Structure 1
Amino acid sequence: MSRYTIDPLQFDKLNTYSVHDRHSKVSVDDFAGPVHPAMTVSQLINCLPTQLMGIDFPEFISRTALAHQQQHPIILGMGAHVIKVGLNPILISLMEQGIISAIALNGAGIIHDTEIAMVGRTSEEVADVLGEGAFGAARETGEHLNTAINQGAAQGIGIGEAVGKMLCEQNFPHNKHSLLAAAYKLKVPVTVHVAMGTDIIHIHPSVDGGSIGSAGHHDFRLFCSLISHLQGGVYLNVGSAVLLPEVFLKALTVVRNLGHQVTQFTTANFDFIRHYRPATNVVHRPNLEGGKGFNFTGHHELMLPLFAAALLDEIDKSQ
């Protein structure tokens, strides 16, 4: 006999109902289709379950393909990790096919892209060199990039264009893998958005803060011009947790303040962790006046190739 003075509740008089009469959120009609060898990407997308991302991802692909077909801009804002995991060839291919119309980078993006162009490798082991104060002290990286930025400021152009120009003029051995070199050749605008002190080139003797500020502000104004044409288009934020979502939101408010109609467009955030600012400043707030935002969680080295392949299939299917 229990020592407790309260008895367990009895369930014998509980009211029940038939499962046949109940609304259910999941049905076998929503289940995935079977996969089989040699499936096309379109077939794989079509067999996804019509649940959660199985609904959102195909819709985003469809919206992006429609934007391309209607000649609206598809702008990519991205952090440097996208470059470091080896995705430049996929992005270069999308630029060559006229799908990506502009790119926005943070300061680290030009560093890793330039080192890839120069020597075919990048990303030092910070823990191995930080103790001796050698982190970020690669001479050629600082000299080439700071010289390009200084010359760009003197010429009245932005950081992205200046670095692309430098890479092409230097004709580095691995330029074919460089996002900025390819963009410069294709005349695809690249804007670079820098927070002073975040990048290794800011500690080099060749740095000039005034040039970074001048060329960087040029790029911000250029980015605003690109966003002013975003009506009907797509903006992707890939792997930038803070800086580019803030830049995008400021650019959007500038163009709306100046009278540009930018309310109906699609946004998406791709990252392997969900962060506050991309979800708020890219996916939710910009679409309060219309349009739609999506949030996809997964590793860039898997998600971006899947996105590119699905998008190309969708575009090809509708031609």
Structure 2
Amino acid sequence: MPYPIFDRNRLILKPLSERVNDLQRDVFLCLTDPIPEFQDDNLEILAERIIKAKERGATVLLMMGAHVIRSGVNRFLIDLMKKGYITLIGTNGASAIHDMEFAMIGESTESVARYIREGQFGLWKETGRVNDAARYAQENGYGLGEAVGKMIYENPIEFPYRESSLFAAGYQYGIPITVHVGIGQDIVHEHPNFDGSATGESSYRDFLTLTYFVQSLEGGVVLNIGTAVMGPEVYLKALSMARNVANQENRHIRHFTSAVFDLVDLGDDIHSEAPKTNAAYYFRPYKTVLVRTVADGGESFYIRGQHRATVPNLHRLIIEKARQ
């Protein structure tokens, strides 16, 4: 006898027009706006490594969490995509939701504290369009990220703010944005139109796309920005698969640069694995991105600061150094 399941047809979904949002589109910095000051010599090294990776045709992989979008730096990432300094962005389901909502209504980020008390958290009709994109992806052989980007880019009336959409820009410039979904973690999984098969298949296609580009990581760069679990774990599995095939072909994926952008205090030595008695050991970006995956030839850096400061300053340095 199968376990009982929740009947989603009993849910009441309300329109986004009734939702109070914590963030409006004016959170997005323009390229011409003054950017927060941030100084770290390692950021200059990273800028140089990214420029060299582009010159040699190596992958520059950016793994990021949804807080990066909420920090208002989309336009800086879009400009790097447009100029060819980012090969692929790997992110989570929440990023697709925030990006789509900002493109659709110019706002995003509901109050969890308010709406969870009402039993309304996440239950907004228009947000379920991410599920429509997943079904379209499954039916037409797309990855989830590309389907979301296509939906936003090709419908300017429905998405009047698509200019600042990462996903639309990815589709426009042919830069893959892959979505790595954890079933049950995103608000659209509450919706009656959620299709686990479509989301699973299209998200797994995204994983294989990311792994394809990890094959060219030798001499490249991987950035892990604001993702403590998804980014390190997806990257780790993709790298193992890519190295497995490379070893069969007498190639190596060892000499590349990795960096973590976050706020956690990791101490003075970020190149040695912390003992299990230290809480930092369980911070996956530390042991996975900074230590284990670059232990046989790579080099890693830790950039500690707010995304709203670190990302625009990385963009600034890349553009400045590329002109020299």
> TM-score when scaled to structure 2?
0.79
CA distance in 2, matches of 1:147, 1:90: 28
Residue of structure 2 equivalent to 1:174:
161
- 1:237 aligns to what SS in structure 2? strand
Determine which of 256, 264, 269 is the counterpart of 1:273: 264
Query: CA offset at residue 249 of structure 1?
Result: 0.5
Asked if 1:294 is matched to 2:279, the reply is no
From 57, 62, 78, the counterpart of 1:76: 62
Q: 2-side partners of 1:135 and 1:158: how far apart?
A: 27
Q: Distance in 1 between matches of 2:314 and 2:298?
A: 20
Report how many residues are paired: 267
2:174 aligned partner, one-letter code = K
* Deviation sequence 1:88-135 (CA, Å, 0-9, x none): 111111111111111111111100000010011110111111111100
Residue of structure 1 equivalent to 2:217: 230
Offset at 1:73? 2.0
- 1:92–1:179: 8 Å Cα contact kept in structure 2? yes
> 1:135 aligned to 118, 121, 129, which one?
121
Q: Which runs of 5+ in 2 are unaligned?
A: 1-34, 266-279
Structure 2 residue identity aligned to 1:125: S
Tell me the distance in 2 between the aligned counterparts of 1:109 and 1:273. Answer: 21
Deviation for aligned residue 1:69: 2.6
Aligned to 1:112: 98
Give the whole-Å Cα distance in 1 for the aligned partners of 2:106 and 2:81: 21
Shift of 1:230: 0.8
Runs of 4+ aligned structure 1 residues displaced above 3 Å come to: none
- The answer as to whether partners of 1:245 and 1:282 remain within 8 angstroms in 2 is yes
1:148 to 127, 133, 153: 133
Is 2:184 the counterpart of 1:193?
no
Give 1:5's aligned residue. Answer: none
Amino acid at match of 2:259: A
Instruction: Work out whether residues 61 and 87 of structure 2, in 8 Å CA contact, stay in contact via their aligned partners in 1.
Output: yes
Offset from partner CA, 1:268-302 (integer Å, 9 cap, x none): 11012256200111111111121111111110001
Match of 1:312 in 2: 319
- Give the Cα separation in 2 of the matches to 1:161 and 1:58: 31
- Which structure would you say has the larger Rg? 1
**Identity within the alignment, %:** 40
- Of 164-173 and 222-231, more deviation after overlay is shown by 164-173
How many Å apart are 1:145 and its aligned residue? 0.6
Q: Secondary structure at the match of 1:196?
A: coil
* 1:164 aligned to which of 133, 144, 149: 149
For the Cα contact (< 8 Å) 2:44–2:314, is it kept in 1? Answer: no
What is the aligned partner in structure 2 of residue 23 from structure 1?
none
- 1:221 alignment partner, SS class: helix
Please name the residue that 1:261 is paired with: 252
* Partner Cα distance (2:45, 2:166) in 1: 28
Letter in 1 for 2:149: G
Matched, 1:99 2:85: yes
Contact 1:238 1:270 (8 Å CA) reproduced: yes
Q: CA RMSD in A?
A: 1.7
1:10 corresponds to which residue?
none
CA distance in 1, matches of 2:154, 2:56: 35
Structure with the greater relative contact order (CA < 8 A, sep ≥ 6): 1 or 2? 2
Report the CA distance between 1:183 and its aligned residue.
0.7
Q: Does the 8 Å contact 1:273/1:298 carry over to 2? A: no
Structure 1 gaps of 5+ residues are 1-40
2:196 is aligned, of 209, 214, 224, to 209
Aligned pairs for 1:20-35 within 5 A: none
How far 1:314 sits from its partner (Å)? 1.2
Partner of 2:274: none
Structure 1 counterpart of 2:19? none
Shift of 1:62: 2.2
Task: Give the corresponding residue for 2:275.
Answer: none
